Amino acid sequence: MTGREEKLFISLVLVYLAYFLCAPIVGYVRARTAREMGDDTPEQMGFLTLNPLEHVSRWWLVLIGLLQMSGHMPFGLGRHIPLNPHNIQGESRTLKLLAAYFSDTVAALGVSVISYFLLIVFTGNDALDHVSRLFPLSYFSKDVSTAAVVLIWLGHTCYSMSCLMAAFTLIINLFHYIYALYFEDYFQGSDYADMIMLFGSLLILYLFIGPVIFSVATFVVWIAQCLAQLFGIL
């Protein structure tokens, strides 16, 4: 097996492993928060669990492999977990909706911060630069064990995937949140409601995803570095 084939094979395994780790956490937090805010729709649909089989998307399992083989960053979203904003009522409804809609974004940010923090612990402040030099495995076998390299790359993959999850869900949830607050009643029962939700989200993603990904990644690294300094690691 050549160095390139070795790297591709390991990266595919790690991306799928990261996906099966990240998607259930993010999905569970969304379902749990929705229930706490008064909406049991995700729970009724079976999402209030950490079982990966309930959260991973079959479509994304295929897309993840295609993206990796074409050299893209590790990315995948779990199954869509719908919310029913009409179930969330009472005092501070606006804040409850905010918590319900953005809980998965916060969860993805948390996973990303923890992943990068662990990278700093094991590789130092220049974690991403260090990780990029860890292949081929045979070159580092003298100083770093294969298991250590694989674990570091898993941390890097979880960081990258959860960063992208946070960026994508932030944009999608913002659109859905504004829609639920101001337009849900107006378009309720309309034949165009589903089209607005789909194409509106896609348009906002197209316009803002690049800057949002950069901002999220920068924020995550900064928070992780602050934590490392707080614990005396840096």
pLDDT digits (tens, 9 = 90+) for 150-205: 778 888 889 999 999 999 999 999 998 988 887 766 556 556 666 777 777 788 88
Number of H helices and E strands in the chain, helices first, is 10, 0
Q: Residue 226 is part of which domain span?
A: 3-230
Q: How far is CA 127 from CA 80, 123, 209, 214, in A?
A: 32, 5, 24, 17
Confidence of residue 129 (pLDDT cuts 50, 70, 90): low
Res 137 pLDDT > 60:
no
Number of domains in the chain: 1
Cβ within 8 Å of residue 81, ≥6 positions away: 27, 30, 31, 34, 42, 45, 47, 104
